[in-house]
Amino acid sequence: MAFTIRLFGNICKNTLLTTTCRQRIINPSCLAKFSSANKEADFPLLDAASYDKVCTETLDSLCYYFEEITEGANNLGSTDVTYGDGVLTVKLGEEHGTYVINRQSPNKQIWLSSPTSGPKRYDFVGPHKDEGKWIYKHTGESLHELLQNEIKKIIKEEDIDFFTLPYSK
């Protein structure tokens, strides 16, 4: 079913939405105008198994990375990183708050709650299931870009690079 959506203040026509998979497909020509995504790519639906694989790898790698960077952060008082049942919780102390990153299987999304920028919902965008990144469709910013910008400001003395993780480019 084709419909028109407003994306970044512009109108993109013939954007598809499949109700059976409940997974959005953004018209590649519209997305290319607003992000650094591959302009030539065809953005297929993720089936349930592919979504599970990509989402699990993303959350696992984020968990390990947060554990690594918070352990060595001298400027943070008490930190805690927990991951279970598809929910990653990163507590960065009272001053900086708590990040919650979780899978949303029915929508095939990853949701983020940031104490700095608020809630966001990320869709996987890429030419195929083994290559792509999680994009917030309202701004075109990836999950890893947001974390890079926000966490680098919190953990100042660390060499932060979320772009080394899977599904960040």
What is residue 157's predicted lDDT score, i.e. its pLDDT?
Answer: 66
Q: Domains of the chain by range and CATH?
A: 46-164 (3.30.920.10)
Beta bridge partners of 110: 103, 122
What are the pLDDT digits (tens) for 115-168? 999 999 999 998 777 789 999 999 999 999 999 999 999 998 668 999 999 999
Average pLDDT over residues 106-113: 96
The residue ranking higher by pLDDT, 114 or 10, is 114
In SS3 terms, the chain reads as CEEEEEECCEEEEEEEEECCCCEEECCHHHHHHHCCCCCCCCCCCCCHHHHHHHHHHHHHHHHHHHHHHHHCCCCCCCCEEEEECCEEEEECCCCCCEEEEEEEHHHCEEEEEECCCEEEEEEEEEEECCEEEEEECCCCCEHHHHHHHHHHHHCCCCCCCHHHCCCCC
What is residue 43's predicted lDDT score, i.e. its pLDDT?
Answer: 53
Average pLDDT over residues 90-96: 93
Q: Is the pLDDT of residue 92 over 70?
A: yes
Average pLDDT over residues 85-104: 96
What is residue 46's predicted lDDT score, i.e. its pLDDT?
Answer: 85
What is residue 68's predicted lDDT score, i.e. its pLDDT?
Answer: 93
What is residue 162's predicted lDDT score, i.e. its pLDDT?
Answer: 96
The residue ranking higher by pLDDT, 106 or 157, is 106
What is residue 83's predicted lDDT score, i.e. its pLDDT?
Answer: 98
What does pTM read for this prediction? Answer: 0.74
Instruction: Determine the residue type at 34.
Output: F
- On average, the pLDDT of the chain sits at 79
Average pLDDT over residues 48-70: 95
What are the pLDDT digits (tens) for 33-56? 344 443 334 455 688 999 999 999
